[in-house]
């Protein structure tokens, strides 16, 4: 029996392959995975381009195609191209923290040493030994193999050397690969947004895709109430829950649930403001 709590927000994932991204394809794992991070962080509402990220890094850091990029460079590129994306980049993290993040429904990105995978069924490059960026999408106990496993998105899994797309791998190997980069066996890692019910939500739509209308912050959970300001993509909304209000239509979808907002981009608002849930909800309905 598989014991797995229901995790909100993980009903879909995005996988791109490193060598399908054209520019700098031989050293583009990090940009490829960061593009996927953007899509996940914006719940599918933004489709980031690995080549654009790579190009931004090249122009700002002078990193040529013959070399790879690091997390700091990629995060700066995302901040410029798709603001604001906060991936909570950390060094010196024990692997247990990544397990917690996956159990909580976050995606986890790590830098790993690829040689750990050589000789295993999950090896997608027999001659590559160095630093590699991958994402882990989920975590589960597998009663058949009697081990924890992680759903691994390797940008080298392109359908040529092994199947295209994510595969379940032993968690022990996943952690060994990430821990092998540093002498103290901690890992370098990043995390996508939280789907916890109390976590701040982020505006994912710059404007209505059907009408072009920009969203409003309302004084009440009512489309006819006073507009207290405009919404912008990426705006961070802390809240005290979801309430029922008048019916809204956003991107062709209708609903009557509103976010009761207590702080906007870190600044508390009183009395509370209201934002139609459609502005913070991705195409799959996750928020």
Window 7 to 26, contacts with another protein (CB under 8 A): 7-8, 19, 26
Binders of another protein among residues 156 to 175 (CB under 8 A) are: 158-162
Cβ at position 36, least distance to another protein in Å: 15
Segment interacting with another protein, rule: CB under 8 A, options 88-96, 201-209, 224-232, 251-259: 88-96
Distances 198 to 201, 252, 260, 261 between C-alpha atoms, Å: 9, 27, 12, 12
Residue position matching structure tokens 């980069």: 181
Binders of another protein among residues 138 to 157 (CB under 8 A) are: 139-141, 143, 148
Q: Cis omega before residue 84 (within 30°)?
A: yes
Binders of another protein among residues 248 to 287 (CB under 8 A) are: none
Between CA 196 and CA 99 the distance in angstroms is 16
Nearest to another protein of 26, 253 (CB atom): 26
> How many other C-beta atoms lie within 10 A of the C-beta of residue 110?
24
Binders of another protein among residues 50 to 69 (CB under 8 A) are: 66-69
Between CA 9 and CA 16 the distance in angstroms is 19
The answer to whether 27 contacts another protein (rule: CB under 8 A) is yes
Between CA 43 and CA 84 the distance in angstroms is 14
Nearest to another protein of 32, 205 (CB atom): 32
Segment interacting with another protein, rule: CB under 8 A, options 41-49, 196-204, 236-244, 265-273: 196-204
Between CA 120 and CA 158 the distance in angstroms is 17
Nearest to another protein of 1, 224 (CB atom): 1
């Amino acid at each position: 029996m598989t014991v797995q709590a229901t995790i909100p927000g993980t009903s879909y994932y995005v996988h791109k392959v490193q060598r399908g991204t054209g520019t700098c394809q031989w050293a583009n794992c990090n940009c490829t995975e960061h593009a996927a991070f953007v899509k996940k962080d914006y719940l599918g509402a933004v489709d980031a381009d690995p080549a654009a990220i790579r190009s931004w890094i090249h122009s700002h850091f002078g990193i040529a195609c013959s070399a790879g990029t690091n997390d700091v460079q990629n995060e700066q590129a995302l901040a410029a191209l798709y603001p604001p994306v906060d991936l909570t980049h950390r060094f010196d993290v024990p692997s247990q923290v990544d397990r917690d993040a996956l159990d909580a429904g976050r995606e986890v990105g790590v830098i790993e040493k690829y040689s750990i995978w050589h000789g295993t069924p999950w090896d997608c490059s027999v001659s590559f030994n160095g630093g590699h960026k991958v994402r882990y999408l989920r975590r589960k106990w597998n009663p058949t193999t009697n081990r924890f496993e992680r759903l691994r998105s390797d940008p080298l899994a392109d359908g040529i050397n092994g199947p295209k797309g994510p595969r379940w791998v032993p968690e022990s190997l996943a952690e060994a690969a990430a821990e092998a980069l540093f002498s103290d066996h901690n890992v370098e890692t990043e995390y996508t947004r939280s789907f916890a019910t109390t976590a701040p939500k982020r505006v994912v739509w710059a404007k209505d895709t059907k009408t072009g209308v920009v969203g409003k912050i309302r004084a009440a959970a009512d489309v006819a109430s006073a507009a207290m300001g405009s919404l912008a993509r990426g705006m961070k909304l802390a809240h005290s829950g979801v309430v029922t209000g008048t019916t809204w239509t956003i991107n062709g979808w209708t609903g009557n649930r509103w976010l009761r907002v207590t702080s906007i981009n870190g600044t508390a608002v009183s009395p509370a403001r209201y934002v139609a849930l459609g502005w913070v909800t991705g195409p799959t309905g996750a928020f």
